[in-house]
Chains A and B, each alone.
Chain A
Amino acid sequence: AQSVAQPEDQVNVAEGNPLTVKCTYSVSGNPYLFWYVQYPNRGLQFLLKYITGDNLVKGSYGFEAEFNKSQTSFHLKKPSALVSDSALYFCAVRVILTGGGNKLTFGTGTQLKVEL
């Protein structure tokens, strides 16, 4: 089954320091990978996606992600964290279903806390 795993429930980082939120995937065939962020009482906001091409993907709000096929990873990164980046981050993989439908399967989420 196509899935993603987020091994860390919480990541703490000081403001101004680089941050990494980890994601590994298990996919047969080419993966379609996504990162989303969720602020309290809000919906999920799309940050970036990897479909094909460059392994370093740039997204919204200064975030980027590195696709690594050999390690089956798609880690989210930002060179300099902001307190306002504190939120819940989800990694997701597109799953193509029989009948022509599809869905995003999400990881369990990583709570990012950026402290002054």
Chain B
Amino acid sequence: DSGVTQTPKHLITATGQRVTLRCSPRSGDLSVYWYQQSLDQGLQFLIQYYNGEERAKGNILERFSAQQFPDLHSELNLSSLELGDSALYFCASSGGLGYNSPLHFGNGTRLTVT
């Protein structure tokens, strides 16, 4: 068990809808990362937060947004959903901004857009 909790595990929704994915990092970890995993794109970095502030942005669509709250949990909001957004979304956390710290991943949220 990595200590990173993601909810829900599965989400099925229709095109055009909006969903929120939630992540609780490991106790004491200040950095949260969001990744998307799909068969055609592999593992894609979306965004990083550190102690409530956005620190890095990757291939995140404008329809997607995220935030990290004062208690350090994070939410990824996906709106105007399209079929191509169906994927596994992972949250990961690490202790700080140290570059030698591994990321610890949750078990992911599987999003299916119909």
Contacts and interface: CB of A to CB of B under 8 A. Distances in A.
A binds B: yes
Query: What interface size band does chain A fall in?
Result: 20 to 34
A51 B97 contact: no
Interface string B20-34: 000000000000010
Interface string A74-116: 0000000000000000100010110111111110110000000
A46 B102 contact: yes
Contacts, number: 63
B96 to A, nearest CB: 10
Contacts of A36: 105
A97 B56 CA distance: 7
Q: Main SS of chain A's interface residues?
A: strand
Interface residues of B, number: 24
A34 to B, nearest CB: 6
Contact of B56 (A32, A102, A106, A108): A102
9 contacts: A32-B99, A43-B92, A96-B99, A100-B97, A101-B55, A101-B56, A102-B99, A103-B48, A103-B56
Which 3 residue pairs of A and B lie closest in terms of their CB atoms, listed nearest first? Answer: A101-B56, A101-B55, A43-B105
